[in-house]
A and B are shown apart, each in its own frame.
Chain A
């Protein structure tokens, strides 16, 4: 059936049903309304920016990894740092959509959609860095166990192979989780759109009508996916941490790495959700849905994970001192007072000192403060990975393999491009899909209405 013509994108979403529409539908779908000129300018800028970084990457493929700062003894640099950073960012989405679902924390409803979308975009961004890092991108598939004429398989004892399985499973399951959550919302958008949007949402809604058997199966599906995602989210960054911890490099070979990385991932992920959602909330007037209560809770999570991360830092230093092992002690001394001291102190201050402001409720609900802290945490967590990876490699046991690494312009451009890539997807997402889970918010609204009715009787 040909959909009726629409004069503009706004006309496609605006038709009002015969019966008064729900406020929740109207407010949240309004975000998908006609893109304004500033929106197009921002999107255009991001597209150009990402392509510029892409051009640098093409140049790197042509010239070789020499244009990155890789030099003996450091062959893991900004690209691996950025890979770990983005995998970490992904974690808050799953924590909010899966773990908080299992805990029946209803406050998650306002932020779970955007956080889950960020998970996908962050995993996509991270995955690219593996390809960028290996240099010969066309050989990336060597990491997969595929039948080949040489009759050989991958080495399943390698953490890099574990990582491939962990990240691809994480990306797939997160995308699936996001899609399942979106099905009822696609139906809501379908019922209120015309033109190409109607066709798109009709296809994506799969004929959803909110029938009992549909909700029953949906509820069970969300529950099971949450159950599957909970150990998954804890395992993914553990596996990433084992990329380092399985080696014998001083400062890497530590059993604390898995929980330390997971806490750091949640810490940085929550910060990124705040960094992205605070402007969206302001621009699209979603103050009624994302409230002080949400900021308060998220800030508490940031404070908690900051304390875990801070404890891990202290414990690493303590164990180095307590071990009485000269190599271990020298490596840790070098981390704080060596040539990379700026990175280390940036990490320590941003991740452990600044978030302490969240002990005070006034700071937790003061949006500019929350936004500023979230930016500091993002910076601090990128530096944390830089400190772990680069300083560890630059000062191993043997003085013959000591060296200094300096990030090169190509790496910094690609790093900056990754932020553009992530932001570009998010900016497209908010105009195509409901940025807040409409059906789940409505569940809360209807419960509230029911209680009011009962009270009235």
Chain B
């Protein structure tokens, strides 16, 4: 199926055109954006990112590991201080806390890799349509559509102030 690329200058226009395209039934859309613009991302992807699940799992694994490790080690090598419990929870809160953060952070990075699809593509090869202008200040909207819809998509992109529209994949 053909792939069209529209180049835009502002995020607002991208949001508007994406809304229109989606309402017209075009779902195979993607945007190359030079900076983070939540409104653009939300226009394309409805659900919140699932990276948060990874953070939660990491945090829970960390706190469990922190307490399990300290308590188990206290009983495995006993430091007996008269009348005191072998495992003393208050100081272990610190280890539990630090490992919550450590594991939570590491798994968040794994979540980023999984949900952002990183590493992406072959080394040194970019996706069709990508160019250095999209790491400057332009926005690139790619639309994959049926051949018979090319003219309509082209007109729509231009109607929303696309600077350029090109057929990057016939």
Taken together as a complex, chains A and B put the C-alpha atoms of A166 and B98 apart, in Å, by: 6
A-B contact count (CB 8 A): 214
Sampled A-B contacts (18; CB under 8 Å):
A19-B131, A24-B137, A145-B73, A153-B74, A154-B73, A156-B95, A157-B79, A177-B105, A183-B118, A207-B121, A211-B31, A213-B45, A218-B36, A224-B51, A228-B55, A442-B35, A446-B137, A453-B9
Chain B 48-72, CB-CB to A under 8 Å as 1, else 0, gives: 1101100100010000000001100
Interface centre among B59, B74, B127, B137 (most CB of A within 10 A): B137
B135 adjacent to A219 (CB under 8 Å)? no
Pair B41/A219 contact, Cβ less than 8 Å: yes
Q: Does B76 contact A (CB under 8 A)?
A: yes
CB–CB B135/A221 < 8 A: no
Instruction: Tell whether, in the assembled complex, residue B38 and residue A219 are in contact, meaning their CB atoms are under 8 Å apart.
Output: yes
Asked if residues B35 and A192 are in contact (CB atoms below 8 Å), the reply is no
Q: Is the CB of A231 within 8 A of B101?
A: yes
**Alpha-carbon separation in the docked complex, A219 to B111 (Å):** 12
Residues of B whose CB lies within 8 Å of any CB of A are 9-12, 30-38, 40-41, 44-45, 48-49, 51-52, 55, 59, 69-70, 73-74, 76-77, 79, 88, 91-92, 94-95, 97-99, 101-102, 104-106, 108-109, 111-113, 115-121, 123-124, 126-127, 130-138
B73 touches A156 (CB 8 A): yes
- B112 in complex: contacting residue of A180, A192, A203, A454, CB < 8 Å: A180
Q: Does A127 contact B (CB under 8 A)?
A: no
| CA–CA, A34 and B126, complex, Å | 27
Chain A: interface residue total (CB-CB under 8 A): 71
Query: How close is A157's CB to chain B, nearest CB, in angstroms?
Result: 5
Which residue of the partner chain, among A216, A442, A446, contacts B45 with CB atoms under 8 Å? A216
Complex Cα–Cα for A375 and B37 (A)? 38
Q: Which residues of A contact B34 (CB under 8 A)?
A: 22, 210, 439, 442, 446
Chain A 1-36 interface 0/1 with B at a Cβ cutoff of 8 Å (1 = within): 100000000000000011111101100000000000
Give A239's nearest chain B residue, CB to CB. Answer: B94
Q: Is B41 a contact partner of A17 (Cβ separation < 8 A)? A: no
Contact of A220 among B49, B132, B137 (CB under 8 A): B49
Complex CA distance for A228 and B52, rounded to whole angstroms: 12
Enumerate chain A residues within 8 angstroms of B40, measured Cβ to Cβ. Answer: 212, 215
Q: How far is the CA of A449 from the CA of B137 in the complex (A)?
A: 10
Does A157 lie within 8 Å of B30, measured CB to CB?
no
CA distance A446 to B105 in the complex (A): 30
- Which of A168-176, A302-310, A331-339, A349-357 faces chain B? A168-176
Please indicate the chain A residues that have their CB under 8 angstroms from the CB of B37 in the complex: 215, 443, 446
Knowing A162-B95, A213-B116, say if A20 contacts B35 (CB, 8 Å).
no
Cα distance A218–B36 when bound, in Å? 8
Chain A residue contacts of B97, Cβ below 8 A: 231, 235
Complex Cα distance, B59 from A219, in Å, reads 19
Question: Do A191 and B135 touch (CB < 8 A)?
Answer: yes
In the assembled complex, how far is the CB of residue A236 from the closest CB belonging to chain B, in whole angstroms?
9
Please determine whether A212 and B116 come into contact, CB atoms closer than 8 angstroms: no
